Amino acid sequence: MLRPDYPITTARLLLRPFTLNDLDALNSFQSRSDVARYLYWGPRSRAESAAALAKRIYSSTLGKEGQFLAMAVELASTGELIGDLNLEYLSSEHRQGEIGFVFHPDHHGKGLAHEAASELLRLGFEELGLHRIVGRCDGRNTSSAALLERLGLRKEAHLRENEIVKGEWTDELVFAMLEDEWKASR
């Protein structure tokens, strides 16, 4: 069972459970077409963000495979919600997980997603005891691919036209890191 000791603080961020008060801030970036461009969902209405938020509020701990841990990323200096993190528990037998992240474009290019996602990897490897963590993204999403590589995940696959997303064939990139690679990088 993973029950993070919230809030998790980094140099510039607070990682914490989502609350009902996060709806407007979450919708401020989930409703944007540039944010949803490479995701499975399109720009979300306020009601759709509220439904997504309800799932995230319920997901502040991680107990068994098939569940995911969701954390709000807050800028420590202002208290502003700037991002959304996920750690999904894919397999208890094989000790595998998957990370995901979505950040408000106003905060891209500042190293904040790297700072937050590094903590997600730490939680997965050091607290949940995962052996392998993957990160996947649309093949056109060069920013997410670059972030996964900066985090130390290795590109393992480029799946050509493996899914139809929003009516078009898309490529998928798969990155991964092993527990011993994580330990060696610390």
Whole-prediction pTM value?
A: 0.95
Whole-angstrom Cα distance, residue 13 to residue 153? 22
Domains of the chain: 8-133 (3.40.630.30)
Q: What is the pLDDT of residues 83-100, one digit of tens each?
A: 999 999 999 999 999 999
SS3 annotation, 150-181: HCCCEEEEEEEEEEEECCEEEEEEEEEEEHHH
Confidence band, pLDDT 50/70/90 cuts, at residue 53: very high
Confidence band, pLDDT 50/70/90 cuts, at residue 186: confident
